[in-house]
Structure 1
Amino acid sequence: MKVYLGKDRIRADRDVTASHATVRDLCRRIEGEGHKLYMDNFFSSPDLFDELMTKNITCCGTSRPNRKGLPDDFRRRQFRLRKGDIRVRVRQNMTALVWKDKRDVYMLPNMHSPPAEGSFCDEHGNAIKPAVVADYNKHMGYVDKADRMAKSYGICRRTWKWTNKLFFHLLDLTILNSPIRLKSCGANWTHRDFRLALVRNMLEFAGRGPPRPQRPRGRTPAVRSEPSRIGEITTQHWPTSSSSKLRCRVCSSRGKRRGVRTKCEKFEIGLCVSGCFRDFHTKATFR
């Protein structure tokens, strides 16, 4: 898989198109193994098929008539075909054909024998499909069927960001592949039944976990909620004046010598009003 993130400028400087380079990069892991590759007309081209053929990969796909490397009469669309007509051009092991059904269908295979030219219709006047067209429809139909099945219970929404769409599309494909793999092992799961069982198991597993801590509602209070010596009014920790000069308890603990005439009414100890009184009654180091 390769995610399309825009035109690659490095590939644009080469002799190959971006779609050609994409298919070539995706096929690097299957080179020389004799695989057959089916593709639609967005990717197929004679140059790509020739390159893949040298790596023992045969191809089949629909084609656009204006592709570089096709015969001139294909590119100029000079054919005047009636329903069932077939026109074929062959170059070494590659075949280019156009078949008239409801519209002109251009095919570009190098894994099939070239069909015979002529007009082929059944007794009801319906066009008879060439073998190459029937084979292409069979194998490309798997891709269309997979997309349709994955979107039957799709999670993705159109309004989401593309990164979220990609993630949930891959998740849908993973869920779709799971019952298919199970069915190959003898289980009889439908796509819908597997999704329902998956949801039930996830909910059951989520219920076993530890309870989530409840977040406090509303704005966090500016004052710390921990208890302090000045927390209650009944304790009577109020600053008051002293008849004699006293040494500040907090300043003394910090190595400073300071005389004050204010004290705590409860403890009868000298404390500076500016800061020390608050620190002594709220900080644990002075308790």
Structure 2
Amino acid sequence: MKQDRYFEILKYLHFSDNTQPNGDKLQKMGKIWDLCMQNFQNTLRAHKNISIDESLMLYKGRLSFKQYIPSKRSRFGVKIFSIVDETTGFVLFCMIYVGKDDRLLPDIRTFGYGGAIVLKLLEPYLNNGHHLYCDNYFTSPNLAKYLLERTTYICGTLRKNRKHTDPPPVRGPNKMKPGEIIVKSCQGVMTEYWRDKKVVSMISTSHDHSMVSVPQRYGGGVVMKPKTVLDYNKYARGTDYSDMKKFYNIRRKSMKWYKTLFFYLVDLCIFNSFVIFKSIHPGTKTKFLSFRLNLIRQIIGSMQPTQAICAISSSGQPNRLTERHFLEYNPSTKSRQHGGRICHVCANKQQAGPPNTKKPRKETVFQCKQCKVALCPTACFELYHTVQNF
């Protein structure tokens, strides 16, 4: 695909009918987001341990539900709540935050907004014995008790100002000492306070107050830590694991928020495909970057070119080495009226040169009429049609 063709498609990329407004803030995304989320849920059956967390998709344009979270790397963007399968790292479902939703008001009054988000994401997974791990934005004693009644267990950090909690004093003679632990339990919900460098507050319906010996990172000693803290650090990293897609993404800067969100969705689909690929081939050592490159090659390979370039003759040699070839001018494009293109031979010379050395780019307005390859009319034209490896 030519560059102009790509930008033309990107210019008219659209997912909804503007003549039929429905008042939904996500109308511009059409049905493509819901379709992908439904396919995610139908693709993988969730394992025992799952996690819920929030992420921020970078976007700095004008948008009514754009969020500012200074602790995030992006800081500005669209907030997305995700539920992740901890065994594989597969993203099961994502929900875009567009403001306070009236459909969540009953749950918000009882469990807070974070708890209402948890119940919305967990709706297909209740009464199945799953173990949920999430941070203190979502947890509360009321939520833990309700999930326990629905045969779903929770473990996570806990804020000191939650209702129905009794945190220990931070200052004064009764403050906790390093290594001290305070455990409180009621109706199957356990709150645990452990003093490390600071007081760590945990809530759980799937643990007891057992302690586990862990080797110190430095010094070679052994330290005792609560089992809740260890399991939380182990299983509450699903969203962090899926964030590796940020380092290899297809997103491009755009003034339209729905295009940016679409590219985010494509990256999410590619990452989930990589997770499924690893589950089908458990012994593979393929990295995420290699998987993306192979995917690109397969997509390009499935598109048959309109004209064969450098075909093979009956003698086994490429036609560019055996047939007669002539020069012609490159066709002009919208961005390059003169038809200038980078010479194929000069580009290969740059790649074969020493690393970390800058070489001038060589552009030409000529190409081989038969091969349709941009070439300089002097030595490069002769090299390309006489040397085997070019």
Q: Same fold (TM over 0.5)?
A: yes
Alpha-carbon spacing, 1:135–1:158, altered in 2? closer, same or farther (3 Å): farther
Q: Is the 8 A contact 1:84 1:121 kept in 2?
A: no
Aligned to 2:190: 95
Q: Which residue of structure 1 lines up, in the alignment, with residue 227 of structure 2?
A: 131
Shift of 1:173: 2.1
**Count of residue pairs brought into register by the alignment:** 209
- The CA RMSD over aligned residues, in Å, is 3.2
If the length of structure 2 is used for normalisation, what is the TM-score?
0.47
Would you say 1:7 and 2:100 are equivalent positions? yes
> Following the alignment from structure 1 to structure 2, what is the Cα–Cα distance between the partners of residues 128 and 51?
31
Residue matched to 1:108: 203
Give 2:276's aligned residue.
Answer: 181
Q: Which amino acid aligns with 1:7?
A: K
Higher Cα Rg: structure 1 or 2?
Answer: 1
- Residues of 2 paired with 1:206 and 1:103: CA distance? 59
Matches of 2:255 and 2:198 in 1, distance apart?
37
Partner Cα separation in structure 1 for residue 155 and residue 274 of structure 2: 30
Which residue does 1:140 correspond to in 2? 236
Asked whether the 8 Å contact 1:83–1:127 carries over to 2, the reply is no
1:28 to 2:152 alignment: no
Matching residue within 146, 152, 161 for 2:247: 152
1:75-125: CA deviation from partner (whole Å, max 9, x where unpaired):
x64662333222211113111112222322211101001247xxx997867
Match of 2:338 in 1: none
Unaligned runs of 5+ in 2: 1-93, 308-330, 335-390
* Distance (Å, rounded) in 1 between the aligned partners of 2:293 and 2:176: 52
Q: Indicate how the Cα distance of structure 1 residues 80 and 209 shifts in structure 2: closer, same or farther if over 3 A, else same.
A: farther
* Aligned equivalent of 1:204: 301
Higher helix fraction (1 or 2): 1
SS at match of 1:68: coil
Task: Name the residue aligned to 1:192.
Answer: 289
The answer to whether 1:170 aligns with 2:248 is no
> How far does the alpha carbon of each residue in 1:190-247 deviate from its partner, in whole angstroms, 9 at most, with x for none?
211111111222233345369xxx9997xxxxxxxxxxxxxxxxxxxxxxxxxxxxxx
Q: 2-side partners of 1:155 and 1:129: how far apart?
A: 42
Higher relative contact order (CA 8 A, sep 6+): 2
* Distance in 2 (alpha carbons) for counterparts of 1:195 and 1:33: 34
Q: Distance in 1 between matches of 2:251 and 2:333?
A: 33
Aligned residue type for 1:203: I
Give the CA deviation at 1:133.
0.7
Alpha-carbon spacing, 1:170–1:61, altered in 2? closer, same or farther (3 Å): same
Which residue of structure 2 aligns with residue 41 of structure 1? 136
Native 8 Å contact 1:46 1:68 kept in 2: yes
Deviations 1:10-66 (A, max 9, x none): 544762222222211222212211111111111011111111111111111111111
Q: Distance in 2 between matches of 1:12 and 1:77?
A: 34
Structure 2 CA distance for partners of 1:175 and 1:11, relative to 1, 3 Å: closer
Corresponding letter in the other structure for 1:5: V
What is the TM-score when the length of structure 1 is the normalising length?
0.62
Q: State the secondary structure of the residue aligned to 1:165.
A: helix
> Hey, what does 2:153 align to over in structure 1?
58
Q: When you count strand as a share of all residues, which structure comes out higher? A: 2
